[in-house]
Structure 1
Amino acid sequence: MATPKIHFLSSFLLCSTFLCFFHCTLSLLDPGDAVGILVQADDVKMLQNNRDSPKGCDFSVGKWVYDDSYPLYDSDCPYLSSVVTCQKNGRPDSDYEKWKWKPTGCTLPRFDALRFLGKMRRKRIMLVGDSIMRNQWESLVCLVQGVIPTSRKRVTYNGPAMAFHAMDFETSIEFFWAPLLVELKKGSENKRIVHLDLIEENARYWRGVDVLVFDSAHWWTHSDQTSSWDYYMEGNNLIRNMSAMIAYQKGLSTWARWVDQNLDPLRTQVIFRSMSSRHNRENGWKCYNQKQPLPFFRHLHVLEPLGVLQGVLKRMRFPVYLQDITTMTVLRGDGHPSVFMRVISQDEKKKQGKGLSSDCSHWCLPGVPDIWNEMLSALL
């Protein structure tokens, strides 16, 4: 009567051994092969990156939950640009400041300024990119500055760079303006030229930095009417027309080669933050008078830039972590300044936003970028 039990046990052990062997074999594959994972979410296929995920947690997947203990600072922070201080500019609602991102299956730690500064002691962290990255830099500085005495903090400027110094920690939190990463120069007849294969003029500022956080997408996706250049150049070839995504891929590839050839992963940590979502009329959205996050989404207009970025990172030797904030920002049409980029008059308020310029790209602070910095702190 014991024989069937022995056969069952033998079969179970054989299956378990096979599954273990299969799993171990997969784990020996090139880690780069696992970078691009196709995820189906509400009819939208999204590229996710799981390489180097901290403790196996994918922060890019989750939901927004209301948390009355937020925000972690207020709009009186002296380092905020007036265009993002929506409360000071007269925005009547404030719930957009109180949403926390809850990843699926794990916890995103609340930002702890002293813990962050402790991790960054005697180090430089530099955020490189466009005005959305400046948005994030201001958020990060406001998150830490409250625990530093006034006499022990300062901001310095050096050309396209600015730095917040926490002197007691010998830490600098820096921002470097390079919206395309590659070089944008004036040519003959004052024409603006994007040099798709030149980067050193910007990259020389990145040497010696301990943590580099990059973004670059918004300028590449500008329409012809709002483009910041007239021509592309590659080598000696002047190019009038090129697909925006091909140009983006070429520019990112130049950046990737520089990182591979010039940075040491034992010395420098590199993070690339994905494109944050715009909710403007061109993309079928209007952010004016939006007061809550969306519970789900059906359109992801930034899928193509995210796919291009994934492809470039997958081919790199240097271990770059992709911080995917695209999904979480798609849901936050309520978080933009909209018409509250500035103080508006009573007459303008009566128009209920009609006829006023509206910013549906940048983010009110406190607000959404604070969560990106909670993610950043967890990654370091």
Structure 2
Amino acid sequence: MADTKRLPLADGFPVLSELGFILRAPWRTGLFAYGFMFALVALTVFLLFSPSSDSSSPLLSGMVTSSSTADTYRSQLSSFFSFFFPNSSPSTATASASPPLPPSPNLSSPPSSYLSPRSENVSQPLVAKNHTPPPDLPSFPGRNHTIATTQPQAPNQTRNSSDPSTPSPPAKNDTVKAVESVPADNGILSNYTASLLKKHSNNNKTINTNSTVTVPVTGSTQEKVKDWAESLKKCDFFDGQWVKDDSYPLYKPGSCSLIDEQFNCVLNGRPDTDYHKLRWKPKDCDLPRLNGSDMLEMLRGKRLVFVGDSLNRNMWESLVCILRSSAKDQNNVYEVNGRQQFRGEASYSFIFRDYNCTVEFFVSPFLVREWEVPDKDGLKKETLRLDLVGQSCDQYKGADIIVFNTGHWWTHDKTSKGKDYYQEGSHVYGELNVLEAFRKALTTWARWVDANINPVKSLVFFRGYSETHFSGGQWNSGGQCDHEMQPIRNDTYLRQYPPKMVVLERVMKGMRTPVTYLNITRMTDYRKDGHPSIYRKRTPTAAERRSPLMFQDCSHWCLPGVPDAWNEILYAELLVKLNQKGQQGQPQQEKRPQ
């Protein structure tokens, strides 16, 4: 053993001396020492030759990658501190740091700290959170999804996100906003058309489905936009059928406090709901679903005016509710005089302050002036001046869009019989056929339109006759429709086209001013299920309680309901006309001499 102690050292380590010490120790202690040494060597080899990029000990990683830059080292330290202090951030930044590379098309960028949730392996379009879709093109009825076409984004384009290295996925209810600029209109188009014609210059298209997808614009997409406009242009909006669509109505029943009690069938206790779930489908095209946000942009700085009887009030209230539900701030939508009921006054006007536009209604059930003359006993007698337009005409003649109607009041006893009622100048007709009186009245209206409305500034519409569905009587003689729960499906049960509307068409053909005829007569004839019937009041009178079925409204329409479809047609007509103006304006600009 003495010889062993005198052996020389091996590389400065007394190997044999240590070996002798171990051999003299109990065998269990030696076994433990060998095991400990083996485990230490194995752990060291593993850490040196198999470092993990996700390791929580970046200091060991730094031992291996000794050639890394100072920036990488600072990044490792940042990750190290973020593991223990996730809310802390580096106090300084390197001015010369390179901009982050764009994310891989197949992989999301790694999380910024080790405590952040793991990113999924899904690429997302670039979005700005809490944005609504730009008013570029109308939504189409489909399966409630939205496809927005945008120009592909360059890799070095700025992102609208708090983290520049990671694209932010849209929230569950967010929509994708196109990241591109709008080409200038070069002064070719009027202010009225500019907002909607940007849809075509942007080459954007929006369609309803269950998800939001971003598609790059290609030549084929541009052609589809043109084809869509042409398909609407050639489509007869009024030849079609009612189809069930569970995505309707356009606003939640009972949600619009602006609906008159007369039309608010849900709050008046109507139990069935199928009449809400029908939309009008023309045979040759799909009507664009009325997008309230788009239409408000269309109306920005404009006046839209309805003129006529209570059926136009029905349509007006429908549109006010649709637009109000889409307004940025509903507190900025109000009737100019603070009115909450819309019967009994000569006119009403809703202001959409955020859009600087108004949607108005002027009461003029005949479009010509109601008058009074003294009778033989010195009392006043009501007449209808067939030679004078309604008294309020000067208040709306400068509006940007005007929708006229008349019809229902011409069926009342006084007008239909025509005895001592119609007047021209100082002459009161002892008797005049109602169709002739109607022709005279519309001729007076047409001459006023030609003389007072500027067709370059204003678009003029005339909405046709809305059919009634009284059974067993008329509006004042016990007519009923409360048992009707489904629309007419067989065309043989439809009525003949009203003779008054034939007169209207002849008058409009002789006008200089273009008037678009909203011929809703046939489409309303199908809808015997859509009237308020007995659900026209919350608190019926004593007589109505005694005989509730004797007092029914089978003329007007529940809201939401049929008038919403009229407004969708109005929306489609406006889009077609704006597209036509855009196509007419551009060639004129090109033909100007240089």
Q: TM-score, normalised by structure 1?
A: 0.80
Provide the C-alpha distance between the structure 1 equivalents of 2:312 and 2:498, rounded to a whole number of angstroms. 19
Q: Quick check: 1:300 aligned with 2:495?
A: yes
Match of 2:510 in 1: 315
Match of 1:264 in 2: 454
Q: Quick check: 1:201 aligned with 2:391?
A: yes
> Does the 8 A contact of 2:468 with 2:554 survive in 1?
yes
> Does the 8 A contact of 1:90 with 1:344 survive in 2?
no
Match of 1:280 in 2: 470
Shift in Å, 1:200: 5.8
SS in 1 for 2:371: strand
* Aligned with 1:171 (options 338, 357, 376): 357
Provide the C-alpha distance between the structure 2 equivalents of 1:197 and 1:307, rounded to a whole number of angstroms. 21
Provide the C-alpha distance between the structure 1 equivalents of 2:388 and 2:241, rounded to a whole number of angstroms. 40
Provide the C-alpha distance between the structure 2 equivalents of 1:98 and 1:228, rounded to a whole number of angstroms. 41
Q: Structure 1: which 5+ runs fail to align?
A: 1-51
> Does the 8 A contact of 1:182 with 1:202 survive in 2?
no
Q: Quick check: 1:80 aligned with 2:255?
A: no
* Aligned with 1:187 (options 368, 373, 384): 373
Match of 2:135 in 1: none
Match of 2:333 in 1: 153
Deviates more, 1:52-61 or 1:273-282: 52-61
Shift in Å, 1:224: 3.9
> Does the 8 A contact of 2:318 with 2:560 survive in 1?
yes
Provide the C-alpha distance between the structure 2 equivalents of 1:229 and 1:124, rounded to a whole number of angstroms. 39
* Aligned with 2:302 (options 114, 123, 127): 123
Shift in Å, 1:171: 0.8
Match of 1:232 in 2: 422
Match of 2:12 in 1: none
* Aligned with 2:322 (options 143, 146, 150): 143
SS in 2 for 1:201: coil
> Does the 8 A contact of 1:194 with 1:229 survive in 2?
no
Match of 1:290 in 2: 484
Match of 2:439 in 1: 249
Q: Quick check: 1:92 aligned with 2:271?
A: yes
* Aligned with 1:343 (options 518, 538, 549): 538
Q: Give, as a single letter, the amino acid of the residue that structure 1 aligns with 2:425.
A: G
* Aligned with 1:333 (options 528, 531, 535): 528
Shift in Å, 1:201: 2.1
* Aligned with 1:66 (options 244, 250, 254): 244
> Does the 8 A contact of 2:263 with 2:558 survive in 1?
yes
Q: Give, as a single letter, the amino acid of the residue that structure 1 aligns with 2:525.
A: V
> Does the 8 A contact of 1:193 with 1:229 survive in 2?
no
Q: Quick check: 1:366 aligned with 2:552?
A: no
Q: Give, as a single letter, the amino acid of the residue that structure 2 aligns with 1:271.
A: F
SS in 2 for 1:100: strand
Change (3 A) 1:88 1:291: same
Deviates more, 1:333-342 or 1:215-224: 215-224
Deviations 1:62-109 (A, max 9, x none): 000011111111223011000111111111101111100000110111
SS in 1 for 2:280: strand
Provide the C-alpha distance between the structure 2 equivalents of 1:195 and 1:330, rounded to a whole number of angstroms. 31
Deviations 1:230-269 (A, max 9, x none): 6111122111321111111110000000011111111110
Deviations 1:19-56 (A, max 9, x none): xxxxxxxxxxxxxxxxxxxxxxxxxxxxxxxxx99511
Higher relative contact order (CA 8 A, sep 6+): 1
Deviates more, 1:354-363 or 1:172-181: 354-363
Match of 2:281 in 1: 102
Q: Give, as a single letter, the amino acid of the residue that structure 1 aligns with 2:332.
A: R
> Does the 8 A contact of 1:196 with 1:247 survive in 2?
yes
Provide the C-alpha distance between the structure 1 equivalents of 2:486 and 2:311, rounded to a whole number of angstroms. 21
Shift in Å, 1:349: 11
Change (3 A) 1:299 1:243: farther
SS in 2 for 1:197: strand
> Does the 8 A contact of 2:439 with 2:503 survive in 1?
yes
Shift in Å, 1:317: 1.0
> Does the 8 A contact of 2:275 with 2:529 survive in 1?
yes
> Does the 8 A contact of 1:211 with 1:270 survive in 2?
yes
Shift in Å, 1:124: 0.1
Q: Give, as a single letter, the amino acid of the residue that structure 1 aligns with 2:242.
A: W
Percentage identity across paired residues of the two chains = 40
SS in 2 for 1:176: strand
Change (3 A) 1:112 1:102: same
Higher strand share goes to which structure?
Answer: 1
Q: Give, as a single letter, the amino acid of the residue that structure 1 aligns with 2:423.
A: M
SS in 1 for 2:566: helix
SS in 2 for 1:154: strand
Deviations 1:204-253 (A, max 9, x none): 12221000000001111223499899611112211132111111111000
Change (3 A) 1:311 1:198: same
Q: Give, as a single letter, the amino acid of the residue that structure 1 aligns with 2:389.
A: I
Provide the C-alpha distance between the structure 2 equivalents of 1:139 and 1:131, rounded to a whole number of angstroms. 12
> Does the 8 A contact of 1:233 with 1:239 survive in 2?
yes
> Does the 8 A contact of 1:199 with 1:255 survive in 2?
yes
Match of 1:35 in 2: none
> Does the 8 A contact of 1:141 with 1:164 survive in 2?
yes
Provide the C-alpha distance between the structure 2 equivalents of 1:79 and 1:227, rounded to a whole number of angstroms. 36
Q: Give, as a single letter, the amino acid of the residue that structure 2 aligns with 1:127.
A: F
> Does the 8 A contact of 1:191 with 1:229 survive in 2?
no
Change (3 A) 1:332 1:126: same
SS in 2 for 1:118: helix
Change (3 A) 1:185 1:225: closer
Provide the C-alpha distance between the structure 2 equivalents of 1:192 and 1:203, rounded to a whole number of angstroms. 20
Change (3 A) 1:225 1:324: closer
Q: Give, as a single letter, the amino acid of the residue that structure 2 aligns with 1:161.
A: S
SS in 1 for 2:529: helix
Provide the C-alpha distance between the structure 1 equivalents of 2:446 and 2:569, rounded to a whole number of angstroms. 23
Provide the C-alpha distance between the structure 2 equivalents of 1:78 and 1:326, rounded to a whole number of angstroms. 28
Q: TM-score, normalised by structure 2?
A: 0.52
Q: Structure 2: which 5+ runs fail to align?
A: 1-229, 340-344, 575-594
